[in-house]
Copies of this chain bind each other. A is one copy, B any other.
Amino acid sequence: MTYELYYWDGIQGRGEFVRLALEDADTDYIDVTREPGRGTGEMLKLMESTSEAHVPFAPPFLQDGGQIISHVANILFYLGPRLKLLPKDETLRWFANGLQLTITDFIAEVHDTHHPIATSKYYEEQKEEAKARAFEFVTNRVPKFLGYFERVLTHNPEGSGHSVGNATTYVDLSLFQVIEGLRYAFPRAMRHYEPRYLELLKLHASVKARPNIAAYLASPRRLAFNENGIFRRYPELDIGP
């Protein structure tokens, strides 16, 4: 059965963490809202369904046969063993899920740098508050989260090349995307911080060089970052630490 991924058309957003796993594993999947003849209407219809028992709160969600799985970390925990992007060891699986949920929290904070007050309002309506929140984010939150992931890599008893165990997991793919996004949205901060996080940079480079990831990044399936997504480049928020 071909996996069907539902996410907002036109942005990488949270869907990208799932796409990277599907692409790395070279798995057949349909990106439903970008599919000719399907589109966003089909996603919204499913979300408003009164006959489907397991309707998700928000995209992204994955349909696998009759089953719907929502939330990035949940989708990845479900796909991990199927795509061979999780180790067999149970202890390492729970650790991986904890790391992915830490990434989830970080991504929510990235979103809130441009929407600190109301998701229902435009960025331009909360620009001053966004500057204050971005200052906090760049000053305190970026080093706290990146420092944590650097420590995880450094202390991995099976070698610093991976965050979990001795092979690539979806957590590694997600950390690649975190670095990509931060470089796009906060280039000044990243120029400042990157020399501190050499293991993370090494991981980013090794994921980028994986053949299926490299092919994906060069393909039209990889959307460009833009100012509708989660990582947005607003010069006034690109604060120097």
Contacts and interface: CB of A to CB of B under 8 A. Distances in A.
In the complex, the count of this chain's copies comes to 2
B116 A117 contact: yes
B151 A55 contact: yes
A84 to B, nearest CB: 19
B97 A74 contact: yes
A2 interface: no
Given A97-B77, A148-B57, A129 B105 contact: no
Interface stretch (A63-71, A183-191, A198-206, A225-233): A63-71
A54 interface: yes
Contacts of A61: 98
A38 interface: no
Contacts of A140: 118-120
The 5 A-B pairs with the shortest beta carbon distances in the complex, nearest first, are A118-B136, A70-B98, A71-B101, A57-B102, A54-B95
Given A54-B95, A70-B98, 18 more contacts: A50-B155, A53-B156, A55-B155, A57-B98, A69-B94, A69-B98, A71-B101, A71-B102, A74-B98, A101-B104, A116-B117, A116-B129, A117-B133, A118-B132, A118-B133, A119-B136, A129-B129, A129-B132
Interface of A: 50, 52-58, 61, 66-71, 73-74, 77-78, 91, 94-95, 97-98, 101-102, 104-105, 108, 112, 116-121, 129, 132-133, 136, 140, 145, 148, 151-152, 155-157
